[in-house]
Chain A
Amino acid sequence: MTETLVASGRRAGVGDVLLDVKDLRTHFHVMDGVVKAVDGVSFSIRRGGRLALVGESGCGKSVTALSIMRLIDVPPGEFAGGEVLFDGVDLLTVDDRHIRKIRGGEIAMIFQEPMTSLNPVMSVGDQIVEAVLLHQKVGKKGAEEIALSALKDVGVADPKRRLKQYPHELSGGMRQRIMIAMALSCNPKLLIADEPTTALDVTIQRQILELIKAVQEKTGTALLLITHDLGVVAETVDDVAVMYAGRVVETGTVDEVLLHPRMPYTRGLLESIPSQGKRGQRLSAITGTVPNPFRLPPGCKFEPRCPYAWETCVESEPDLIELKRDRTARCWLNDPRFRDRLAAYGASRPEGHA
């Protein structure tokens, strides 16, 4: 079973498919057995496109990102199946030399914790220069020039002085700017941002998101944003892939997924966001907890927590059902046989939602 979902933005400047993740399976062999952290994830991003991978902690978002870069340690990790086609080349099978060229050069990554993602004993400049020297044919002088202009591009004041400073002298927001500058210094085709604003305070979060969006539009690099924050998703990307228990459970454009979720899990996530309209009401939450990775339910993985589940959900797991072009959901409600249930699901939508 291999689904290719063309999650394409329809903005200008969005081209053909750049990254095509097909049925990716990343498993970890641990003491108690095998954890299938990623088990059949498929999505694709076009050149210049923006996709968000959304889900709660432990659903496999970050492992997916690390798998694309092949940064999973093998063992204990194992790529148990699937392909990561980047510009038509499967990154899971290329040799080490090739993947090092890709890392930082073609695909750059920004991490969650700006406080610890920079080496404390190297100056900021040295760290950017190191990345530039690895991927571009320039000398030390040229690399320093590039580092300087990269810092200017991300809005760092007094960049010359910043280059000589050490990470502990900079604030969290400033460090995240440095990380973005470093990521963009080699003009990557794809930028993976793994929860880039989670560790920052709210005012800085907005600045960093705006910055990522601005440089993304300016440089035309594609963006894979990993987040658990649906507010961030709505503001930043064109397309969404929702993940649950190592699977993609819903894909589509931001508007479609956030306004008309066709998978109860997505709806649950949306309903648990506090908003003005829900003032004074009790905030709803998804009941239950994330399933134990060693004892996943046999049917739909969300079934034990799903308020709409029935026998079919317990017995078998649905595939990603294509609703229309670039719009899928992994839920039996979308199967034509259960039309009446979908109608009831639609009717049960709470007032004033989203």
Chain B
Amino acid sequence: MDSVPTLRPTISDVEPTALDYDVQLESLGQWQIAWKRFKRHRMALIGSAMFLGMVVVGILGPLFFQYDYYNIPVPDVHVNAGRPPSLAHLFGETGRLQWDVLTLVINGIRYSLLIGVIASAMGAIIGTIVGGVAGYFGGWTDTILMRIVDALLALPLLFVILVFTKFLGDGNWVSVTLIFGLFGWLGIARLVRAVMLSLREADYVDAARAAGVRDRRIIFRHLIPNALSPIIVATTLGVAGVIIGEAFISFLGFGVGQDTPTLGNILAGSLGFISQGNWWWAFFPGMAIVVIVLGINFMGDGLRDALDPRAKI
């Protein structure tokens, strides 16, 4: 096919459409192929629906159910253990101050997702840069960067984060996010480094170097795009990890303060009231966590399969 003589007069006269009548082959980029595979993955679609549903709730919900820590609506009747779900309060009311649990959960979803997504994105960016540089250059650069990663991984991260959140920002959700982001890049850095170690031996890297392309551009334009699939999968699953981590430390009372609801600190508040029969205060935020995390995990599995270059369409 290579040297079939063509009858085109000059190139400028010929629009692609004029020639394309005989070639109906669809030209699919890697993302189109991945999307095609993803669509066939039923659990992935269910997972995406769960996750995206929660994202919609987190974005739109607070418009209808505003949460204002300093303006507590006064209940008509005061019941210290809270009141079970009713038509007025679909998810019931909390104990003590009698917050509407639905309002709390909706706003909790918003902040938990924000923290999860921003912290994972931060971790992905830092990890990709560190891992990319370490894997591409190798040698001393690699040794130094990876020993730093090893040293940080040797720390019991959860306790480090507990300490940091306690002393920095004092329960501000932004600082909690930053702390998770700043400690969340280690796994991605190792992953990206491992991928880069094999990718940098590829012939097209030599070809790019022989064409005079700079190292920085080879890393970020040629290699990282080739390493994007595992990064995307790891980052997606990382969102679930951060949400659980945040819930955990907030539950222990070290995370985000009470003025900003997260799924974790809502659960923390319910602690003393479950024994008084108030199950709804813990149940609904707990379910929200389950739905988000399960959704993300299903979605991540689907992405892993869809982005696997070895899999057939």
Residues on A facing B (Cβ under 8 Å): 69, 71, 75, 100-105, 108-109, 111-113, 116-122, 130-131, 134-135, 148, 152, 155-161, 164-166, 169, 171, 173-174, 177, 179, 182, 204, 207
Contacts and interface: CB of A to CB of B under 8 A. Distances in A.
Given A160-B11, A166-B29, A111 B20 contact: no
B154 interface: no
Interface residues of B, number: 31
Contact of B27 (A121, A134, A160, A165): A165
Interface stretch (B181-189, B201-209, B260-268, B274-282): B201-209
In the A-B complex, the 8 residue pairs with the closest CB atoms:
A104-B211, A104-B212, A103-B212, A116-B203, A109-B210, A119-B204, A131-B211, A117-B207
Given A71-B206, A169-B27, A158 B2 contact: no
B206 A119 contact: no
A103 B3 contact: no
B272 interface: no
B211 A108 contact: yes
B210 A69 contact: yes
A189 to B, nearest CB: 14
B126 to A, nearest CB: 22
Given A148-B11, A161-B20, A102 B2 contact: no
A113 B2 CA distance: 17
Contacts, number: 98
A116 B203 CA distance: 6
Contacts of A204: 2
A159 B19 contact: no
A103 B203 contact: no
B198 interface: no
Contacts of B207: 109, 111, 117-118, 179
Nearest to B11: A152
B214 interface: yes
A173 B2 contact: yes
A108 B3 contact: no
A122 B208 CA distance: 12
B16 A108 contact: no
B210 A103 contact: yes
